[in-house]
C-alpha cells in the first residue's frame, strides 16, 4: 500500500478555518448530555458494575482476529473491483494512510480507500458535508456503504484497532475536543474500532454537539466493555450500513 501525501500534519489541521465552525458552536449554549444509563435507545446495552477484566479483553481480541481474517478473505474480490474503480476515475493512491489517535492516546496510521479527489485529501482539513463536491462518484458509493473503511481490518490484525470501539479521530480533533469536553480522553482507554456505539447511534459529527454526544457514547462503551456489548453493536452495525444511516 502506497503512503499518500494525504498524510495531514498537525499544523495544517489547526488552521483557524478548520476550527471556526466548532468554536462557533462552543460559544453558544452547551447541549445537555443525555443520561445514557436510562436511555430507551440503549435498552439492549449491558451495563457492567465492575470494570472489564483480562479475560474479556482476551476474548475480544480473539473475536477481532477471527472476524478480520474472515472479512479479509470475503472482501478480497470486492477490493479488487474497488481498486480498479478508484484508479479509473481519478489519479492518486487507491489506499492511503491517515494519522489517527488510538489506545492510550498514541498515534497510528489508519488505512482507508481514497474517496476524495487526491488534491483535497492532502489539503487542510475541512468538515465533510452531504453532497460535498470533493467526494468522487466512486467515493460516494464507498462512503454510503462504509466500504472505504474496510481496509481497517488490517489495522485490527496489526493490533492498532478493534472491530468494535470508539471512533479513531485525527490528532488535531483529539487535541481540540480534549480542551472542549470534560473526560474526553477516557475514550482512549480501549482500542478504537471500525464500528462502535457512537457510529450506530450518533452517525457523523458535523458540529460540537454531535462531537459531545459521540464522546459520551464512546466513554459509555469503554466503561461497560463486555463481549455481550461487542456482539450487540456488531449486529446492529449491519442494518446501519445497509440502510446507509449516518453516512456522508
Distance CA 172, CA 223 (A): 24
Here the cell at position 141 is 458509493
| Predicted pLDDT of residue 205 | 61
Contacts of 10 (CB under 8 A, 6+ apart): 171, 172, 175
In the chain, the percentage of residues whose pLDDT exceeds 90 is: 52
What's the pLDDT band for 167 if we cut at 50, 70, 90? very high
Average pLDDT, the chain: 82
| Predicted pLDDT of residue 134 | 77
Tens of pLDDT, residues 95-127: 989 999 999 999 999 999 999 886 544 445 555
Tens of pLDDT, residues 6-26: 333 333 344 455 555 555 555
| Predicted pLDDT of residue 10 | 37
Name the helix (H) or strand (E) containing 87.
helix 54-89
Global pTM value: 0.83
Distance CA 197, CA 163 (A): 12
| b/e map 34-59, b = 16+ CB within 10 Å | bebeeeeebeebeeeeeebeeebeee
Tens of pLDDT, residues 169-212: 999 889 888 887 888 999 999 999 999 999 898 866 666 777 88
C-beta separation of 229 from 46 below 8 A = yes
Query: What does the domain layout of the chain look like in residue ranges?
Result: 50-242
Distance CA 92, CA 6 (A): 10
Q: Where are the alpha helices (DSSP H) in the chain?
A: 10-13, 16-27, 54-89, 118-121, 137-144, 152-157, 171-180, 197-201, 208-223, 227-242
Phi/psi of residue 201, nearest 5 degrees: -105, -45
DSSP 8-state code for residue 126: -
Which residue is associated with the grid cell 453558544?
A: 28
> What is the signed CA dihedral for 117, 122, 126, 129, rounded to 10 degrees?
20
Distance CA 123, CA 6 (A): 7
Amino acid at each position: 500500500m502506497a503512503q499518500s501525501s494525504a498524510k495531514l500534519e498537525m499544523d495544517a489541521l489547526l488552521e483557524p478555518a478548520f476550527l471556526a465552525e466548532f468554536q462557533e458552536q462552543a460559544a453558544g449554549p452547551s447541549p445537555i448530555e443525555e443520561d445514557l444509563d436510562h436511555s430507551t435507545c440503549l435498552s439492549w446495552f449491558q451495563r457492567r458494575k465492575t470494570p472489564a477484566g483480562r479475560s474479556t479483553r482476551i476474548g475480544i481480541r480473539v473475536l477481532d482476529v477471527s472476524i478480520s481474517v474472515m472479512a479479509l478473505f470475503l472482501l478480497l474480490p470486492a477490493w479488487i473491483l474497488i481498486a480498479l474503480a478508484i484508479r479509473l476515475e481519478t489519479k492518486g493512491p487507491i489506499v492511503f494512510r491517515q494519522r489517527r489517535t488510538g489506545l492510550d492516546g498514541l498515534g497510528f496510521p489508519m488505512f482507508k480507500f481514497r474517496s476524495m479527489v487526491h488534491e483535497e485529501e492532502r489539503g487542510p482539513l475541512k468538515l465533510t458535508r452531504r453532497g460535498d463536491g470533493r467526494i468522487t462518484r466512486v467515493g460516494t458509493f464507498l462512503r454510503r456503504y462504509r466500504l472505504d473503511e474496510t481496509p481497517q481490518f488490517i489495522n485490527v490484525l496489526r493490533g492498532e484497532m478493534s472491530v468494535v470501539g470508539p471512533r479513531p479521530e485525527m490528532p488535531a480533533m483529539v487535541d481540540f475536543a480534549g480542551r472542549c469536553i470534560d473526560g474526553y480522553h477516557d475514550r482512549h482507554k480501549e482500542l478504537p474500532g471500525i464500528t462502535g456505539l457512537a457510529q450506530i447511534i450518533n452517525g457523523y459529527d458535523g458540529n460540537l454537539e454531535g462531537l459531545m454526544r459521540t464522546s459520551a457514547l464512546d466513554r459509555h462503551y469503554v466503561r461497560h466493555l463486555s463481549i455481550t456489548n461487542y456482539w450487540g453493536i456488531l449486529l446492529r452495525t449491519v442494518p446501519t450500513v445497509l440502510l446507509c444511516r449516518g453516512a456522508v
